[in-house]
Amino acid sequence: MEFGVTKKLKQYTNKQKILLVGEGDFSFSLSLAKAFGSATNITATSLDTREELGRKYSNGKANAEELERFGCNVVHGVNVHSMASDYRLDRYDRIVFNFPHSGLHQQVVRGFFESAKKMLKDEDGEIHVTHKTNIPFCMWEIETLAGQKGLRLIGKIEFEQSSFPGYSNKRGAGSNCNDSFPIYNATTFMFKKYALF
């Protein structure tokens, strides 16, 4: 990791090796990069190919290119179910999945937890999932899903979109994939591995 001044944005710092999963238009990653003044500590991924990114999101391609200029490792075609065996990825201090949405919500989150726990650098590594907590989203039972995969909750913080300048959440699928959705009643759940897993 870099030496020098620690730069922080909420719970993330430029000293942490960070993996961002399911990035949509890469605006969250870019928010971190701008706050840190660099993105050499960040790997930002999406399921979309580079070509799909340009078609789906109005700022996606430009955001990814700007991230690369900041030194970010931008990786396309990453599936949360198999990312632990993706040779393009490594081990990380923080693994982050903001607003995981798809037709098979709980299966996606289960697959993410299973893969992510194998990719933590050490026992101090954390997995963060930001999710809405109002109905029907609270019925996903994020904490239960994590526990089933050998993870324990270590904290929760309210997610405030305004804390991440430039972040524009996206629906990600369907004809409205470039549209944002309202972010309220959202929480970032933070997990660590149980010692025996």
**Can you tell me the distance from the alpha carbon of 106 to that of 136, in angstroms, rounded to the nearest whole number?**
12
Lowest mean pLDDT among 53-57, 80-84, 147-151, 154-158: 53-57
82: pLDDT strictly greater than 90: yes
Question: Mean of the pLDDT values across residues 165-178?
Answer: 59
Average pLDDT value over all residues in the chain: 85
Question: Mean of the pLDDT values across residues 106-132?
Answer: 91
Lowest mean pLDDT among 2-16, 36-50, 73-87, 166-180: 166-180
Output the CA–CA distances (angstroms, integers) from residue 64 to 95, 107, 126, 142, 174, in the order listed: 18, 27, 24, 29, 21
Question: Mean of the pLDDT values across residues 163-192?
Answer: 69
Considering the entire predicted model, what is its pTM?
0.88
DSSP 92: B
More confident residue, 181 or 78: 78
Question: Mean of the pLDDT values across residues 122-146?
Answer: 81
Q: Which amino acid is at 149?
A: K
Question: Mean of the pLDDT values across residues 11-33?
Answer: 93
- 104 pLDDT band, cuts 50/70/90, is low
Q: What region does 166 belong to: left with phi over 0, alpha with psi -120 to 50, or beta? A: left
Task: Decide if 71 contacts 36 (C-beta within 8 A).
Answer: no
Provide the token pair at 59.
């700022």
- 138 pLDDT band, cuts 50/70/90, is low
**Looking at residue 1, what is its pLDDT?**
47
105: pLDDT strictly greater than 70: yes
**Looking at residue 132, what is its pLDDT?**
73
**Looking at residue 102, what is its pLDDT?**
54
